[in-house]
Structure 1
Amino acid sequence: MSDVQKPQITNARGLLKSEVFKRPHERGLEDLWKDVVLAQHRDDKLDREEAIKRVDRTKVERTNQEQEIVEGDVDRGLNVRHGQGMLPRQDLVLESCTGS
């Protein structure tokens, strides 16, 4: 954050200067916490419902989709390496491209 941005944020939001510095730090900690929860869920150390309680359903579902895509890519890579060439699953390719 530049010295020019700080006064603009304080004026636009009606915040104290200390709040301008505090909020990004809090957001960063919140993001780190979500990453920890999602990693525990991915590693089967935290069940789906508990992960949803701690972060939110969308983030947990997105993490599960991403894990399925990566696992599929690994499986296809291993199969191609062993001469069993497979085409990628179109539904996963489309999801990864569209972000849905």
Structure 2
Amino acid sequence: MLKLSLKQGEYLNIGDNIRVVYAGGAGNHIRLLVDAPRDVNIARNKTETNPERRKDTYYAEPGISREAQAEIKKILWNERMKAEAKRDAEKMKE
């Protein structure tokens, strides 16, 4: 399981064609925007139907390799640099 902390407007990509954007929130409520192809089934559910995946019986998955962690860091750094360059370009236009 991956746990992320996102700021408003930040996003994560799942595969090549799904993007989840954190649109903000307050308290126990958050807003997510999901951009996915129409053929992808997206369902909202309040309870986990599989008892083995419930929080009280969840067992953490094995850790990922150092190589995968390094690749993730590189991807995140590249995305951060792109976002900063975009912000800088927008400021220059003002």
TM-score bracket for this pair, using the shorter chain length: 0.3 to 0.5
Greater per-residue helix proportion: 1
TM-score, normalization: structure 2? Answer: 0.35
Which of 1 and 2 has greater Rg?
1
Instruction: Give the structure with the higher percent strand.
Output: 2
